[in-house]
Amino acid sequence: MSVSVIDLPWLREAPSDFGARCRAAGTAQEPAARELQFLAGYRLTSRNATLLARAVRRCRADLKDLAPLSPLRLGVLAGATSDLLLDDLVAAAARHGVALDIVSAPYDQVAQQAFDPTSLINAARPDAILVAVDHRWLRLDRPVLDQDAAQNVAARVGQLREIVQALRTHSGAAAILQTVATPPTPLFGSLDRRVQGSVRAMIDEANRAIGELAEQAGTYLLDVAALAEHIGTDRWFDPVQWAAYKLPFSADCVPIYADHAGRLLGAIRGKTRFAGGPDPEGAGFASNITPAAIGTWSEADIATTLTTGRTPELRYVGSSMANVVANLAMLPQSDRDAIASYVKSLPPRPTPPP
């Protein structure tokens, strides 16, 4: 049996009473936030995410204490149907330590919302604004063979730059930009790599420019292109659901997209940095290296582990960490001591649910 990242295989399957527990969350003695985050740690279908998101909204409306979840108001601007993402985003954010409050703009109102100082999004004063646009919104969905393709890409990313600046000016919030997934339908086959105006070549250039824009403008970046490649773009895109519902990508991919976005939101709130998570290089789970997990280790213990791979519990690190140790062991001792000192200085953060 093959296991795909799309199924969030590192999460536990939701129990049959998931809906009932969502409906009960916040009504019992147990702190609401703890139960919400626990429920968010399950593998959720979009239907389950809707139940959990409703519980989060109800607890907020009832003024329940949502600590230690960090509140974050997120504006969402999308060039396609985003309504189906919202509940999944709330659920995934709770998984990563964030109590998300979403303000969503109407369908395909990206520029209008950004440039109008009194727009719904700007007036909401969000903490961050997700600018969820894809190759279609950027007009990179058709080859440009009769004019300057580079100019076309520059113009489209330039528009994105103006939107980011307008949002910063009018709302005070930093944007979360997305890279753009490349549809799996070549025009000239392998030649697409060499033709400047092919969809693939223009998206490659746009993603480079979006990364540069994120650096220059100090925005966050959600690497949707990398996620779609990981899953497989044939599975990421669903032309039928685009035609039927204007979904920017397959509904099957909404939970994994939301998990990646939730992870980023957790990082924005500093909830999960160095606290462990799924190993991005493959199967497994990277360990928490904050004092919440290794608080009993001394600086010398950490430096020894970085040199020999041996932990104070007399175990040896494995997986990709073994390769890291093999490389770190070649550094000067003073460098390993400096790393150990830094790791020891990290604040304790709980491990996010696997």
Partner 1 sequence: MTRQELLVLIQNILADVLGNESLQLTEQSTAEQVPDWDSINQVKLLIGLENELNFRFSAQDVEGLKNVGALINLVQRKLAAKI
Nearest CB to partner 1, comparing residues 192 and 238: 238
Stretch that binds partner 1, among 134-142, 228-236, 243-251, 261-269 (CB under 8 A): 243-251
Residue 27 binding partner 1, by CB under 8 A: no
Q: Establish if 61 lies at the interface with partner 1 (CB under 8 A).
A: no
Contacts of 345 (CB under 8 A, 6+ apart): none
CB 82 within 8 A of CB 104: yes
**Of the residues 27, 165, 241, 307, which one makes contact with partner 1 according to CB under 8 A:** 241
Read off the amino acid at residue 161: R
Task: Give the interface segment with partner 1, choosing from 127-135, 147-155, 242-250, 345-353 (CB under 8 A).
Answer: 242-250
Strand order in the sheet with 128-132: 98-104, 70-78, 128-132, 174-178, 220-222
Q: Which is nearer to partner 1, 19 or 350 (CB)?
A: 19
And the tokens for 351?
């491990």
Region from 24-32, 178-186, 218-226, 235-243 binding partner 1, contact rule CB under 8 A: 235-243
d(CA 227, CA 215): 20
Q: Specify the stretch interacting with partner 1 by CB under 8 A; choose among 9-17, 80-88, 142-150, 282-290.
A: 80-88
The yes or no reply on residue 84 touching partner 1 (CB under 8 A) is yes
Total number of residues binding partner 1 (CB under 8 A)?
19
User: Which residue has 């290794």 as its token pair?
Assistant: 294
Taking the complex as a whole, the smallest distance from the CB of residue 82 to partner 1 amounts, in Å, to 10
180 binds partner 1 (CB under 8 A): no
Q: Which stretch binds partner 1 (CB under 8 A): 43-51, 114-122, 160-168, 182-190?
A: 43-51
CA distance 158 to 169: 17
Figure out which of the listed residues 1, 243, 314, 330 binds partner 1, where binding follows CB under 8 A.
243
Q: How far is CA 134 from CA 48, 93, 96, 160, in A?
A: 26, 22, 25, 11
Q: How many residues does the chain have?
A: 354
Please tell me whether residue 1 binds partner 1 under the rule CB under 8 A: no
> Does position 54 bind partner 1 by CB under 8 A?
yes
Residue (213 or 247) nearer to partner 1, CB: 247
Estimate the crossing angle of helix 333-345 against helix 319-328, to 10 degrees.
130
Axis-axis angle for helices 299-308, 319-328 (nearest 10): 100
Q: Which is nearer to partner 1, 51 or 121 (CB)?
A: 51
Q: What sign results for the dihedral spanned by CA atoms 100, 103, 105, 110?
A: negative
Identify each DSSP E strand in the chain by its residue range: 12-13, 42-43, 70-78, 98-104, 128-132, 174-178, 220-222, 277-278, 285-286
Out of 240, 280, 327, 345, point to the residue binding partner 1 (CB under 8 A): 240
47 binds partner 1 (CB under 8 A): yes
For residue 128, give the DSSP letter: E
Which residues in 22-52 are b (16+ Cβ under 10 Å) and which e? beebbeeeeebbebbbebbbbebbbebbbbb
As a whole number of angstroms, the distance between CA 157 and CA 1 comes to 42
Q: Residue 245, interface with partner 1 (CB under 8 A)?
A: yes
Query: Would strands 220-222 and 174-178 be described as parallel, antiparallel, or unpaired?
Result: parallel
**Beta carbon nearer to partner 1, 52 or 140:** 52
- Cβ proximity to partner 1, 230 vs 246, nearer residue: 246
Task: Give the one residue of 61, 244, 314, 330 binding partner 1; rule: CB under 8 A.
Answer: 244
Per-residue x/- mask for partner 1, residues 310 to 329, rule CB under 8 A? --------------------
Which of the residues 118 through 137 are near partner 1 (CB under 8 A)?
Answer: none
Token couple for 94: 């709770």
Q: Maximum Cα–Cα distance for the chain, whole Å?
A: 67
Task: Give the interface with partner 1 as residue ranges (CB under 8 A).
Answer: 19, 23, 45-47, 50-51, 54, 81, 83-84, 238, 240-241, 243-245, 251-252
